[in-house]
Amino acid sequence: MRILSVVGARPQFVKLAPIAHAMQGRAEHLIAHTGQHYDVLMSDVFFRDLGIPAPDFNLGVGSGKHGAQTGAMLAGLEEIIEGAAPDCVLVYGDTNSTLAAALAAAKLHVPVAHLEAGLRSFNRRMPEEHNRVLTDHSADLLLAPTQVAMGHLANEGLGARSILVGDVMTDVLFTVRESLTRTGAALPHGLVPGGYYIATIHRPDNTDEPVRLAAIIGELAKLDKPVLLLAHPRLHSLAKQHGIALQEGSIVLNPPLTYPQLINAARHSAGVITDSGGLQKEAFLLRVPCTTIRPETEWVETVELGWNVLVSSDLTQLAASVHRGAPEPTDATPYGDGHAAERSVAAVLATFGPQPAQNP
């Protein structure tokens, strides 16, 4: 059986890693990279550090407005899918690359499996919310990370195509954490365990409007410990455009980290401040308190269990949230047991692979 995985943006490379490993010896697995993310630190280092085979196809689409970027991917992926003739196209998460791949495959009548299906923010200003909903409704197999996601899919009439597999980001985090514990790793800028926070900001709602971005940077600059700000290229270019200095007060500016470096920096930090979906969950899995600069989250379990606090309209609440202590310890495992990739591959093979002969 031939499966084509389509990825393009940083969080998708992380999700691809455990899937690519679980595919070995079980299916012919091809990888198409759309080129949505292309900087070495946003793409290549993930393939290198997470042992992902080099992509079989690279569209090199690059940055652009949503329509132009998604359209270029759609046209390019149509050619790739026609040529590769996979039995199934596997798409990941909620980026423009996800939607383009699902649409290209569906129009060619190639079955689509969606990994990380069923997440909802119910915030229709987010491009990712449209990408998820449209992808879920065009896919044939929905691989859900959580029980909450299964509930959303059932509510939208998609329960019969859905299966709870757990979260593949748990798989990859457990593997990397174990290797860090064996090998150890230094912290950047001479930071010491427990003596700093880490922060990432990249969502359009936080970066695109100068007053909002300046207010977030101003609050980070006032925190009581150094704040390692891991600047996504979008943050850099918009801060420059708006004339906002990022290296202010407590802020220690740093380029994006590789995945093992990020997990190492997060697990030794006193807290995480982010608008990323993945990092909220990584903080929870590492049991580090997180403050999320968004009005809502798809990962509601992190909030319910007390490890994540949302701060959005009133940014003056940020310091109080970041300075709060750790909540009650928990051994809850809403994101699975670290074997989600094996379950996902098994589900794809069982659904789209050769079916066992029926007894006459």
State the residues that interact with ligand UD1 by CB under 6 A: 9-11, 36-39, 42, 63, 94-96, 127-128, 202, 232-234, 237
Evaluate whether 116 touches 92 at the Cβ level (below 8 Å). Answer: yes
The answer to whether residues 3 and 27 touch, using CB atoms and an 8 Å cutoff, is yes
Side chain identity at residue 268, one-letter code:
H
CB of 193 to ligand UD1, least distance (A): 27
Closer to ligand UD1 at the Cβ: 234 or 339?
Answer: 234
Could you tell me how many residues make up the chain?
360
* Minimal distance, residue 323 CB to ligand UD1, in Å: 27
Nearer to ligand UD1, 96 or 264 (CB): 96
**Quick check: 139 and 104 in contact, CB under 8 A?**
no
Minimum distance, C-beta of residue 284 to ligand UD1, in the bound complex (Å): 17
- For residue 144, what is the DSSP state? E
Specify whether the CB–CB gap between 152 and 119 falls below 8 A. yes
Cβ 199 to ligand UD1 shortest distance, Å:
14
> 11 or 111: whose CB is closer to ligand UD1?
11
Query: Which lies closer to ligand UD1 via its Cβ, residue 65 or residue 182?
Result: 65
The kind and range of the H/E element at 211 are: helix 210-221
From 289, 235, 210, 278, select the one nearest 9 (Cα to Cα). 278
From residue 27, alpha-carbon distances to 115, 141, 249, 353, 354 in Å are 17, 17, 52, 9, 11
Backbone angles phi, psi at 197, to 5 degrees: -115, 160
**Smallest distance from ligand UD1 to CB 282, Å:** 13
- In angstroms, what CA-CA distances link 135 with 121, 138, 213? 15, 5, 31
Cβ closer to ligand UD1: 63 or 181?
Answer: 63
The tokens for 161 are 């195509």
Q: How far apart are CA 142 and CA 153, in angstroms?
A: 8
Query: Which residues fall within 8 angstroms of residue 120, CB to CB, at 6 or more apart?
Result: 129, 132, 133, 149, 152, 298
Token pair of 139, please? 């896919």
State the catalytic residue, choosing from 152, 202, 232, 268. 202
Tell me how far apart the terminal alpha carbons of the chain are, to the nearest angstrom.
Answer: 25
Residue 95 CB, nearest approach to ligand UD1 (Å): 3
Q: Is 202 a catalytic residue?
A: yes
For ligand UD1, the closer CB: 199 or 270? 199
Q: Which sequence positions are flagged as catalytic?
A: 202
